Amino acid sequence: MPKHQTRAATRPALEKGWINWTALAVAGVAMIWAGALRAQDEMIISHGYSFYGDLTYPADFKHLNYVNPDAPKGGEVSVAFVGTLDSMNPYSGKGRAHLFSIFGYESLLADAPSGESVPADTYGEAYCLLCESLEYPVDKSWVIFNMRPEAKFSDGTPVTAHDVYFSHNLLLDEGLKSYADAVRKRIPNVEVLDDHRVKFYFADGISRRSLIDQVGGVPVWPKAWFEKTGLGLKDTWIDTPPGSGAYMIKSVDLSRRIVLERNPDYWGRDLPINQGRHNFDQIRLEIFSDDTAAFEAFKAGEYTFRREGDSKKWATGYDFPKVDAGYVVKEELPDGAPATPSGIVFNLNSEPLKDKRVREAVALAFNFEWTNESLQYGLFEQRSSYSQGTPIMAEGLPTGDELALLERLGEVVDPTMLTTQARMPHTSSPQRLLDRRNARTASKLLDEAGWVVENGKRVNVDGQPLRLNFLFNSASSPTTTAVVENFVTNLQTFGIDAVLEKVDSSQYTARERDRDYDLLFDSYAAFLGTGTGLEQRYGSEAAAFSLFNPAGLASPMVDAIIDASLNAVTRAEEEAAMKALDRALRHEFIMIPVWYNDNHWVAYYDQYEHPEGQPPFALGYLDWWWFNPEKAQALKAAGALR
């Protein structure tokens, strides 16, 4: 699937963006877009794309605003992966591959190989990379990408429109079913106009939202490699197709490490969008079986950059001598994206969990306040929204345009949602793990749902126990493990036969794909605006098999709201639909929301530097940070690194 991911901005930047979005004029009106676009016979030609037409960067921009265009090239950054890997092909839906496996592949429109958005300081904008321009009519019924003839794969062969055509169809024929089904309905035809021009046609009678950026985000592979090897996306790769990106795979040992090296002959190194980026000569991944081993390896200097997600380690683990001596930097950097909707996900196809009262009762076993104070050092806030802290987070009762939309959708909308506050997480006592008030409420809910107590166990009318299995990745951090273990203990106190199944990463991935669980700790994607990806993540059509919808949510109300958002023609309409979607997802109650942190926690050996201003959409440590050789030499001289 395309690599482009939606990211959110910091609140001030986001609110500013909300004001500056403008609706496109249609119905035969020629358009002029400030320094970026020109209209000729209702044709738009541009160096980038935004649905509403506003682009932050003009056609003659020199570099992205947040990078250091003079950042030196050189050195290595090394990071850790916890778990097991068995493939370098992440597109098949089989096996377990790492992010590094996609680093070499570029798209027509730019993004970061690490999956972060480019630019990282704007929302909903994309700029040409393999293409030098794109053109499309005002109604967006098709798009032509005019490709850069100088673009080359790392083996020296040119990147052509034939490769784009091949890659698009390969994803449809052998990629994820949820992606292929969605794309086929929307993009009925692709045409190679010549070696460096490719045209995508879009179906009639559908929203034009996300279609141009959809096709512009497809990774481009060399057709010749697949024809020569006979391999496809359905196969497990170790040796990978050459890519056109700044990095190539140097070596792979899926039990120990993966090493990438910067291509000295990278065709796109002088493009304005690449200035100040791709600064490391080498990027190394070290693979560990669990997070405890990974952390000890970091302290020993086996790898040099760590993103910390464990609150206990962040609060108490970084007191080792290298931190005290200043050899290791511990830093908090602002994260402007809406919090990832992580939590304890319900499998809605699990028979007992189909009853919302049971889900409500199960949720009351999670005590955020106690967890945060006792296990996480009070470092987190509790998440409630799928767009936490943004202007499209639903709050209170629906009003204004949001209320009007929900009323217009009619019977598909649960009427109680119109008269009740947006769902918020329950509160608990921080004094003890089991909140007795919540336990009493859970007991009543389970009684109402027909799960009564016999001999201390919850059973139904047929005497069958209320049994729930919680699938859990054994490679998770000790803190997350403790959180889940305490949650399961509370479930058992409720009389539920809850079993925590700890399995290794490979088993976890396989069982998650098969929906072989009642509960699991997982996440959805946050959103700041609409797009066709919402249907893949939250829609009914692919609910039975989408890897991005672990709850299996299939809600006609959610479908109707997504559809309304895709057909919004103004930013105000889109904002109202996004608020309604956030409200509806919380109402459907597909997961127990847990916690969030509005900072990136990072620790690294003091040989890396970054610009002072942190853009809101990305951390960028594998993108625009750089290596300082003098600092690196000082670390070695002090014995902090070998």
Domain at 247-336+598-637, CATH class: alpha beta
The whole-number pLDDT of residue 95 equals 74
CB 423 within 8 A of CB 584: no
| Amino acid present at 393 | M
The whole-number pLDDT of residue 42 equals 82
- Give span(s): CATH 3.40.190.10, the chain: 11-61+88-229, 247-336+598-637
- Give span(s): CATH 3.10.105.10, the chain: 342-596
The whole-number pLDDT of residue 237 equals 84
Q: Cβ atoms within 10 A of the Cβ of 334, count?
A: 12
Which letter does DSSP use for residue 313 in this model? I
Beta strands in 289-339 (DSSP E): 305-307, 328-334
Cα 362 from chain centroid? Answer: 27
Low-confidence ranges of the chain (pLDDT < 50): 1-40
11-61+88-229: which CATH number, 3.30.160.150, 3.40.50.300, 3.40.190.10, 3.40.640.10?
A: 3.40.190.10
Which residues are 600's β-sheet partners? 333
pTM value surpassing 0.75: yes
342-596: which CATH number, 3.10.20.30, 3.10.105.10, 3.40.50.300, 1.20.120.1200?
A: 3.10.105.10
φ, ψ dihedrals at 139, nearest 5°: -80, 0
Token pair listed for 541: 């059509």
Token pair listed for 443: 């007991």
CB 89 within 8 A of CB 254: no
CB 343 within 8 A of CB 591: yes
Angle at the Cα of 167 from the Cα atoms of 511 and 181, rounded to 5 degrees: 50
The whole-number pLDDT of residue 37 equals 43
The whole-number pLDDT of residue 609 equals 98
| pLDDT tens-digit readout, 575-624 | 999 999 999 999 999 999 999 999 999 999 999 999 998 899 899 999 99
| pLDDT tens-digit readout, 509-550 | 899 999 999 999 999 999 989 988 899 899 998 899 888 999
Residue with tokens 């008269």: 419
Burial 62-73 (b: 16+ CB within 10 A, else e): ebbebbbeebee
Q: Cβ atoms within 10 A of the Cβ of 591, count?
A: 26
Peptide bond into 338 cis (omega under 30): no
The whole-number pLDDT of residue 40 equals 41
Angle at the Cα of 4 from the Cα atoms of 85 and 338, rounded to 5 degrees: 90
Length of the chain: 642
